[in-house]
Structure formats: C-alpha cells, structure tokens
Structure 1
C-alpha cells in the first residue's frame, strides 16, 4: 500500500483541485472540496463518515483502506465509471437529507 503521506497528497489534490475543476466542466451537483470529501468518505464507509472515523481532519485519521477506497471512488467519478450524482444522493440519504432527484 502507498505511504500515508502520498495517500493524503493524492486525496487533497483529488478533492481540492481535480474534482472541483471537473464539476465546473461537467455540471456536477456539487462543486466544493468539502462536499467531495463528504461524498467520497461517506461512500467509502457506507454511512456517515464521522460515525466511522474519529478525529479531524477525517482524511488524516481515516484508516488507509478507507482513504484508498475514497480515492478510488473519486478517480472512478473522474473517469466516468462512477456517478457523482448517485454517490451524493446516497450520502445525503445516510445523513437524513433529501438529495436532488434523479
């Protein structure tokens, strides 16, 4: 597995630069780094991330396997293999919020 510092660097680049840039180009329903972090971490833990990850910031305290899963989900969304709208709806459902309709 990748070294921790490398995983965190990938995570921050993915959620702070790559995904927000793609959101603007693709019309995604979310566009801010903290939204991508919420969606990816929630889906990686299959629930609300703060129920599974103690400590803040979450990416620094998440077990490596969870961070890898979250990164892979983000990369899949960028590559068109995962639907960011679906991932966002799922995250909002876990949080008891009504997400945008399909």
Structure 2
C-alpha cells in the first residue's frame, strides 16, 4: 500500500455529498452570482460608460448620471420613487433579477453607444419631469 491513495481509493465518488471536503465543487452560489453582477455593474457604470461618454460626447458622461439612466430604465421610472428606501447604494438594493437586467442594459449601452444612451437619458428625464437634452451642434 502506497503513501497516498490512488484515484477512487479514498472513497471519493466525485459526487457532491453536501459535506465540506475542502474541495472546490465548481458550483456558483446565488451570493457568488450577485457579487459578480455587482462588480460588473460598478465596472460599467463607474468606469467604462462615463469614460466612453466623455471621449465620444454622449448625453451622459458622469457616473451618477449613467447610474440614473441605468436604474431608471431598469425599474421603469425614477428609481427614487420605485426602489424602496434604504441604506447604501441604490444599485446594491436591487432585487437579483433587477440587478441582472441593470447589468444587461449597461452592457447594451456599451455595445450600442451614443444613440441608445441619448434615448434612455431622454426617457429617464421625462420620468423626472425634465426636458430632454438638446443634441450637440
């Protein structure tokens, strides 16, 4: 008998028994997925989209304005009137399906660019009773 057991000799069937064996089962938990979505939201809304907005002259160029556009259009109205009040960042209070939709929308904004951003910004401003911005000349 050798110093270490060979494959299959230690009783490991390769099936998840629910016990913590210290082995990575490769499963993604709901918490892991939420953290991934939160990180992607922050990356897009706080960095990628504002940077592109500034470089390309989009209707929104500042992170909090990008966040307003994403949240309003995800929730179907001014986010402050739709999302329950609470502590912390508004995006962190989104339900799991809302967070997934917000990330999808931000990714779509990144893919489609200025025209989509202007359309979504105008819709967000209308929900807030404000006029749409005039296009740059």
Q: Structure 2: any 5+ residue segments left out of the alignment? A: 1-29
* Equivalent residue, structure 2, for 1:6: 36
Matched residues, number: 102
Q: Deviations over 1:42-94 (max 9, x none)?
A: 00011011222122311111111111111111111111177000000000000
Give 3-state SS (helix, strand or coil) of 1:3's partner: helix
Instruction: Work out the CA distance in 2 between the residues paired with 1:69 and 1:77.
Output: 12
Q: Of the candidates 78, 93, 98, which is equivalent to residue 48 of structure 1?
A: 78
TM-score (norm 1): 0.90
- Higher relative CO (CA 8 A, sep ≥ 6), structure 1 or 2? 1
**Structure-to-structure mapping, 1:15-94, within 5 angstroms:** 15-54=45-84, 55=86, 56-80=88-112, 83-94=116-127
Higher helix share: 1
Q: Structure 1: any 5+ residue segments left out of the alignment? A: none
Stretches of 4+ aligned residues off by more than 6 angstroms: none
- Aligned-residue Cα RMSD (Å) equals 1.8
Q: CA deviation at 1:101?
A: 3.7
Bigger radius of gyration among the two: 2
